Structures are given as structure tokens and as C-alpha cells.
């Protein structure tokens, strides 16, 4: 499935901004009407004003509905992200309500135009137009909570990553402040924000590195805590979404240093839970911050340091080999989605 670029979601106007835009456009359309007979001129003006205002309102609303992706067309990963970020049920209900409002506005416009054709007085034409405007305003007032929700949701969703389903994906997980963002910065061209306090990563971040012209995506998940699922917050649920629904391999970081934010036994318990989520995908467990790790845990095979670069190239090679994206089964054909230079 195609990935979603949330940054292209259109701006959501406030209800009053929509009305101001609609009525301003309608007034300009009225000025374009020419007819020497006042009676016919006013009737045409009111008819055009109602139609123009309705067009602006309905087109604006329907543009939101069409530009916001349908949940059914999205990957499980994107659906899970939306659910964790803003809620899938609210997402569906809001877009459904906005589409209903657009249809109501068009219906009111049609009824008013038919009424204007039956009227026989200039004042009646004006009254019909004013009445239609009032009903337009009432509809937008009625869906004001949904419009405001949509604007807030847009700001949240624009911060989510867009993954290319055609490229390999590595999910980087672990407890808070174990060095996930620093590792991705060291391994890839991505530059996630890094700070030395718990819950460093406030959103999912995306970096990548290239090997043989193929981009390997790395998803930096928010730090998870060792606690029941029902007690986890929205940020943690975004990490769960990444773990459950995407990734060719999971890279789990453990911080066994004395200054670690989470006790080692909690990190080990979290690792057990994550293994269950990722039961069908390979997992690589690495111990980070090896530059300050005085006593490596017994059996620790993979030690890395984003600060000194220790073990990073070995880790990169292991990730590439584990994913096996460039494995050639048929020597006479290139791998699927192989990048070609069109020259």
C-alpha cells in the first residue's frame, strides 16, 4: 500500500473563516450580474449569491474529506498510528459528519434557488438569500466541534512519519533514554531530536541509510515503560503500533549502565513483552552506551556506542544480512523494487 504523507493534509479553517470566505465570494459574484431590469437583476443576483456561497462551503468541506485518507485504504501500521494518535472511531465519525454537512449545504442551496424562482417580489428574493445564509451558518455551527477536532488532529498527524512500504524498515525500540535517537543519528542520515531526559522522543522519527542504492528506513519509537498496556499513554501506543504493524527487523536497545533511566530488570521484562509482539519477525538485541559500560552483562554479544562509533559498522552489516532485501534468487533478474537509473 502507498504510504501517507501527512504533511500534505490541507489546512483546516475555522467555521467563521469558511463563512467569511463564502459570503465574500458570493458578493463578488453578485457584482458580475448585468440586467437592465431591476426585478430580474436582483433575482439573478440572489440566486448566484446562494449558489456561490454554497459552492465555497461544500467544496471546502469535501476537499477535507477527499484529502484525508480513508482508513480502509491504509496499511495496518498507518491505521494503528492514527488510532494511537487521534482515535480511529473519532476520525471516521468526524469525516462522516463533515461530508453530511457539505451535502446539507448543497441541499439548502437547491431548495432556496427553487424558491427564488417561485417568488414575485424583490424583497422576497433578499429574504430567501438571507434565510439560506442563516441555514448555512447554522450547519457550520452544528459541526463546529468536528471542524475544531479536525484542525487539532491535522497538527498531530503532520508530525507522524511516512514509511515507504517498498523499502526495508528497521524498528528501533527500548526503554526511555537508552540511546535510540543517538543510534539512528549515528547510523543514518536522519537527525531525530536528542535530549538527556526521560521520554526523549516525543514522536515517531524516521531516518535511513543506503546500501547498494537501496534505502533502509529506521523508525525511532518513543520510549516504552514496563507497565500494563492499559496504563500506557498515547505516545507509548504509537511505539506499540510501530512494533506490531511494521518493520522487517526489530532492533532492541538495552542500557545496562549505572546511570540508566530504567532498571535493568524492567528493561528485560519489557524485552520479553516486545518479543511476543514481534514473534514473526527477527530481533536483534544490542547493549548501547558501551563507552561508559563498565561491566557488560553476561552473554552480551552486541555492544555499540553512538558516541565512539564502536560496533556501528558491524551492526549495519548484520541488519542488512538479517533483512536480506538484496538476496538474489534468480541471478538473471534484479530484486523487486531495485532502483534503476533511467538514462
pTM: 0.73
Confidence of residue 277 (pLDDT cuts 50, 70, 90): confident
pLDDT at 229: 66
* Residues carrying CATH 1.20.120.1190, the chain: 6-157
pLDDT at 100: 98
pLDDT in tens, 111-127: 999 999 999 999 999 99
State how far the Cα of 199 lies from the Cα of 176, in Å rounded to an integer: 5
State how far the Cα of 262 lies from the Cα of 22, in Å rounded to an integer: 55
State how far the Cα of 13 lies from the Cα of 183, in Å rounded to an integer: 40
State how far the Cα of 89 lies from the Cα of 109, in Å rounded to an integer: 31
| Homologous superfamily of domain range 169-323 | P-loop containing nucleotide triphosphate hydrolases (3.40.50.300)
At 189 the three-state DSSP class reads: coil
Least confident of 24-33, 273-282, 287-296: 287-296
Please, what's the largest Cα pairwise distance for the chain?
96
Bridge partners, 112 (sequence order): none
Give 155's contacts (C-beta < 8 A, 6+ positions apart).
none
268: cell is 528485560
pLDDT in tens, 53-104: 999 999 999 999 999 989 988 877 788 778 878 889 999 999 999 999 999 9
Please check the confidence at residue 164 and state whether its pLDDT lies above 70. yes
For the domain spanning 6-157, the CATH number is 1.20.120.1190
Least confident of 62-71, 141-150, 259-268, 283-292: 283-292
Confidence of residue 184 (pLDDT cuts 50, 70, 90): confident
pLDDT at 198: 41
Please state at what angle helix 234-245 crosses helix 264-277, rounded to 10 degrees.
50
Please check the confidence at residue 16 and state whether its pLDDT lies above 80. yes
Nearest to 175 by CA among 224, 232, 137, 126: 224
Please check the confidence at residue 197 and state whether its pLDDT lies above 50. no
Mean pLDDT of 186-213: 66
State how far the Cα of 174 lies from the Cα of 223, in Å rounded to an integer: 6
Please check the confidence at residue 334 and state whether its pLDDT lies above 80. no
Bridge partners, 215 (sequence order): 210
Strands (E), 179-213: 205-211
Please check the confidence at residue 200 and state whether its pLDDT lies above 60. no
Mean pLDDT of 314-319: 89
Please check the confidence at residue 199 and state whether its pLDDT lies above 50. no
State how far the Cα of 133 lies from the Cα of 293, in Å rounded to an integer: 70
Residues 92-102 as b/e (b if ≥16 CB within 10 A, e otherwise) read: eebbebbbebb
* Residues carrying CATH 3.40.50.300, the chain: 169-323
State how far the Cα of 262 lies from the Cα of 31, in Å rounded to an integer: 69
Confidence of residue 15 (pLDDT cuts 50, 70, 90): very high
Please check the confidence at residue 147 and state whether its pLDDT lies above 60. yes
Helices marked H in the chain — which ranges? 15-31, 38-67, 76-85, 88-118, 122-142, 144-157, 180-187, 234-245, 264-277, 312-323
Please check the confidence at residue 1 and state whether its pLDDT lies above 60. no
Cβ-contact 271, 255 below 8 angstroms: no
State how far the Cα of 116 lies from the Cα of 126, in Å rounded to an integer: 9
Least confident of 258-262, 285-289, 297-301: 297-301
DSSP string, 63-106: HHHHHSPPGGGS-HHHHHHHHHHT-HHHHHHHHHHHHHHHHHHH
Q: Give the residue with greater pLDDT, 8 vs 240.
A: 8
Please check the confidence at residue 202 and state whether its pLDDT lies above 80. no
Pairing of strands 205-211, 214-220: antiparallel
Q: Give the residue with greater pLDDT, 67 vs 304.
A: 67
Least confident of 7-11, 26-30, 63-67, 320-324: 7-11
Give 322's contacts (C-beta < 8 A, 6+ positions apart).
248, 249, 282, 284
For residue 266, count other CB atoms closer than 10 A to its CB: 15
pLDDT at 108: 98
Mean pLDDT of the chain: 83
Amino acid at each position: 500500500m502507498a504510504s501517507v504523507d501527512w504533511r500534505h493534509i490541507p489546512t483546516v479553517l475555522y467555521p467563521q473563516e469558511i463563512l467569511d470566505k463564502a459570503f465574500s465570494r458570493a458578493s463578488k459574484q453578485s457584482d458580475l450580474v448585468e440586467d437592465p431590469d431591476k426585478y430580474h437583476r436582483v433575482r439573478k443576483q440572489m440566486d448566484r449569491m446562494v449558489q456561490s456561497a454554497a459552492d465555497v462551503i461544500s467544496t471546502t468541506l469535501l476537499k477535507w474529506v477527499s484529502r484525508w485518507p480513508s482508513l480502509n485504504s491504509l496499511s495496518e501500521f498507518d491505521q494503528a498510528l492514527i488510532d494511537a494518535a487521534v482515535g480511529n472511531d473519532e476520525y471516521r465519525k468526524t469525516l462522516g459528519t463533515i461530508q453530511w454537512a457539505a451535502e446539507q449545504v448543497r441541499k439548502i442551496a437547491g431548495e432556496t434557488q427553487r424558491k427564488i424562482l417561485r417568488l414575485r417580489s424583490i424583497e422576497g428574493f433578499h429574504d430567501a438569500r438571507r434565510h439560506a445564509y442563516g441555514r448555512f451558518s447554522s450547519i457550520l455551527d452544528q459541526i463546529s466541534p468536528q471542524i475544531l477536532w479536525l484542525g487539532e488532529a491535522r497538527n498531530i498527524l503532520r508530525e507522524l512519519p511516512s514509511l515507504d512500504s517498498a523499502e526495508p524498515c528497521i524498528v528501533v525500540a527500548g526503554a526511555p533514554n537508552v540511546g535510540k535517537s543517538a543510534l539512528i543519528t549515528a547510523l543514518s542520515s536522519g537527525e531525530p531530536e536528542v535530549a538527556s531526559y526521560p521520554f526523549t522522543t516525543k514522536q515517531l522519527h524516521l531516518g535511513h541509510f543506503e546500501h547498494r542504492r537501496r534505502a533502509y528506513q529506521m523508525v525511532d519509537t518513543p520510549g516504552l515503560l514496563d507497565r500494563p498496556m492499559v496504563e500506557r499513554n498515547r505516545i507509548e501506543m504509537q511505539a506499540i503500533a510501530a512494533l506490531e504493524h511494521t518493520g522487517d527487523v526489530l532492533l532492541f536497545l538495552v542500557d545496562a549502565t549505572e546511570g540508566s533511566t530504567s532498571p535493568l530488570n524492567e528493561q528485560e521484562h519489557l524485552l520479553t513483552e516486545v518479543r511476543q509482539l514481534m514473534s514473526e519477525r527477527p530481533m536483534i538485541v544490542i547493549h548501547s552506551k558501551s563507552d561508559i559500560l563498565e561491566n557488560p552483562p553476561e552473554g552480551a554479544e552486541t555492544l555499540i556506542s553512538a558516541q565512539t562509533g564502536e560496533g556501528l559498522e558491524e551492526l549495519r552489516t548484520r541488519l542488512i544480512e538479517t533483512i536480506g532485501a538484496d538476496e538474489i534468487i534468480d541471478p538473471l533478474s534484479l530484486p523487486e523494487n531495485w532502483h534503476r537509473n533511467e538514462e
